[in-house]
Structure 1
Amino acid sequence: MYVAVKGGEAAIRNAHKLLGDRRRGDRSLPAIGLDQIVEQLALAVDRVMAEGSLYDTELAALAVKQARGDMIEAIFLVRAYRTTLPRFGYTRPVETSQMAIERRISATFKDLPGGQLLGPTFDYTHRLLDPELAEDGIVETPERRVEVREHTPRVTDILGHDGMIEADGDMPEGVETGDLTREPLSFPLERDLRLQALARGDEGFLLGLAYSTQRGYGRSHPFAGEIRIGEVEIELEVAELDFPLTLGRIRVTECQMINQFKGSSKQPPQFTRGYGLVFGQSERKSMSMALCDRALRARELGEDITAAAQDEEFVISHSDNVQSTGFVEHLKLPHYVDFQAELDLVRRMRGEHERRESENSETKEAAE
């Protein structure tokens, strides 16, 4: 708190009022509602839920509104609220093969069992501003097709059937999945904790790392095996019941990356996996997560660690935008005592430097 600022608490209260005034904006315009944010800024809401680690569209929309569109501030608000919630238990792992699919594409197989669905995507749009969107015109509504299937095989299942890709990494029996929100991280990490950290990680940071792996900073030759977006059921096991209780559905994006692997003394040449799963519709984040996941498996696969994206401690320690924001923005707080100490030190060092320069000059003149 800026306790040293003239005016103290009164100045801070006025700063809060000014923030509220700027948030509301021009009073001649209608205030934006949470339902509008949820429906019309859905991808922003999805990012806040994913990196805030809390699936609630209304709370995420409230955070976006309160933060005036500052995504990291909104994520911070959701993350802080999340810490106040009680925990009733852990749900069962979601079964994405039974997803109610809205979008499903593969860059490796053209003719997928079950077909490919383009769904809502920017992939085929021209990156030109559309003036018609400035007006509240009528938008043509396409036929909505969300298919619920008992089982839609993944591309990795096809490769696995032929033994061309490593087996899916099942947890050993009796091993409990870690929870980074309850226990402090201790390196090296198991993959379950790495994936948790990546799922909460900053999209821009992970995107940059993922890009670096494709430019040669780390062994990576990836293919987007499959990307799917849709809804999955959330189930909770209750001790009094002999069947899981369905709590509802959430929308998620899943990405399975396929990477080359030349083999090792223990494993034959085969494809390896990179995995990404995030709340909402977020292909860029899930793809970046999958690329970083594969890069961070370097030690496990016996590869040399030569790039930043392969350095587990570097990636995980710097991927959380809430921690990063706190550490960078704390520099705005008063550091008067620290700076005065540094200033005094620099003055003394400068005095020593000038004294030595003077002595050297006198010695040189005497020699001449």
Structure 2
Amino acid sequence: MYVAVKGGERAIENAHDWLAEERRGPADIPELSVDQIKSQMTLAVNRVMAEGSLYDPDLAALAIKQARGDLIEAIFLIRAYRTTLPRIGHSRPVETDKMACDRRISATFKDAPGGQVLGPTFDYTHRLLDFKLAADGEVPEAATAAPLQGDMPRITEFLNRDGLIQTETPSDEPPRDMTRQPMEYPAGRPLRLQALTRGDEGFVLGMAYSTQRGYGRNHPFVGELRIGKVSVEMDIPELGFAVEIGEITLTECETVNQFHGSKTQPPQFTRGYGLVFGQTERKAISMALVDRALRWEELGEDNLGAPAQDEEFVLSHADNIQATGFLEHIKLPHYVDFQSELELVRKIRSEAQANTLKEAAE
């Protein structure tokens, strides 16, 4: 017979205490500080900020520490904290063409105007374990250069001089805010980009990979990938002009995609776009590929039935907080539901057995 498990407040408190003990680890090992996480686990901090929709490295590092390194749990903590913050205004759109670039590369133009800057990247490492790190070996000083300053025009605009790439036309309508308004379909490109930049990196990566393998019409080149700091400005009504309120680090990616034309568009290159907090280039590239796959209707292409072309499928499943909540709720008590299912199965089995005996008797 099934017996419902009983628990209570004391058990939950003990679970919390045990969790805190496991998070701290052995007391003879120095505790990991928030500053250490912020300065030495920057890519994890960047992901938490991007998918948590809150640019604050200190809070992201604290969330990672509290979550024992579970980034989705840390993102959940940041999202929850974000809802408590007042919104005092809106910043102006950031001007990424004036980004102070630490990294700027193009897979389409070798001699890119302004030069290619590799920056800090894993691209050319050998992917071999460095045991010097385990021995606390000294790290060689890098011959770093100052970030590229001044106007930094996008490399894709050089294609546009000859009309070889689709011109982006900005909309006059202000984009909807998905953090304050429910998602509606069709969503439109601005709302799709909001959802993708907040989406789970693994999911967006999987969708992007699927388009490269043929589940969608995507043959991309990275026209430009840039990482650096941009100024954030805000209009102050009392002053009558905008003031700079800070700087944030962004990763921006524009892909160049083959396009053979359609009934409504001439043969030309088209774009995919990704913009993410921090140095998050895998996410930005993935976002650009999925963005392009979702533009099939706008460009007059045929829908091949690929998952990455299905706006509702992609946007409904990209958010890791929604996915985690729906998935993990099934481990919480469902005693009443299960009892009803149990009684139903017993009734069906009893009726089936009775029918079998009746048929055998006849």
**TM-score of the superposed pair, with normalisation by structure 1:** 0.95
| 1:49-87 deviation digits (Å, cap 9, x = unpaired) | 000000000000000000000010000000000000000
Superposed displacement of residue 5, structure 1: 5.6
Q: Match for residue 122 of structure 2?
A: 122
Q: Which amino acid aligns with 2:160?
A: G
* 1:352 CA displacement: 2.6
Give the AA of the match of 2:246: G
Q: Secondary structure at the match of 2:238?
A: coil
Structure 2 counterpart of 1:317: 316
How big is the shift at 1:246?
0.3
**1:85 equivalent in structure 2:** 85
Does the 8 A contact of 2:91 with 2:234 survive in 1? yes
Q: What residue is the counterpart of 2:356 in the other structure?
A: 357
Look up the equivalent residue of 1:180 and give its one-letter code: M
Amino acid at match of 1:64: I
Structure 1 position 362, deviation (Å): 4.6
Are residues 1:22 and 2:48 paired?
no
Match of 2:157 in 1: 157
Query: Equivalent residue of 1:288, what SS?
Result: helix
- Distance in 2 of aligned mates of 1:31 and 1:147: 34
What is the CA deviation profile of residues 286-345 of structure 1, one whole-angstrom value per residue up to 9, with x for unaligned ones?
A: 011111111111121122221111101110011000000000000011111111111111
Q: Say if 2:219 and 2:258, in contact at 8 Å, map to a contact too.
A: yes
Return the alpha-carbon distance in structure 2 between the equivalents of residues 84 and 105 of structure 1. 39
Is the CA contact (8 Å cut-off) linking 2:264 and 2:299 kept in structure 1? Answer: no
Contact 1:98 1:148 (8 Å CA) reproduced: no
Trace 1:286-305 onto structure 2 (pairs within 5 A).
286-305=284-303
Moved more, 222-231 or 131-140: 131-140
Aligned positions, number: 358
The Cα shift of 1:351 comes to 2.3
Q: Per the alignment, do residues 139 and 160 of structure 1 end up closer, same or farther by CA in structure 2, a change over 3 Å counting?
A: same
User: How much has 1:209 moved relative to structure 2?
Assistant: 0.4
- Write out aligned runs for 1:228-243 (5 A): 228-243=226-241
Q: Which runs of 5+ in 2 are unaligned?
A: none
Does residue 168 (structure 1) correspond to residue 168 (structure 2)? The answer is yes
Q: Which runs of 5+ in 1 are unaligned?
A: 364-368
Aligned to 1:62: 62
The two structures, once aligned, show a CA RMSD in angstroms of: 1.3
Distance apart, 1:361 and its partner CA = 4.1
Q: Deviations over 1:185-228 (max 9, x none)?
A: 11110111110000000000000000000000011111111100
Q: Which residue of 1 aligns with 2:12?
A: 12
1:97 corresponds to: 97
- Structure 1 position 7, deviation (Å): 4.7
Q: Corresponding residue for 1:366?
A: none
Query: Which stretch of the first structure deviates more once superposed, 241-250 or 100-109?
Result: 241-250
Structure 2 contact 264–300 (Cα < 8 Å) conserved: no
Look up the equivalent residue of 1:349 and give its one-letter code: I
- Counterpart of 2:221 in structure 1 is 223
SS in 2 for 1:237: strand
Check conservation: 2:102, 2:148, Cα contact below 8 A. Answer: no
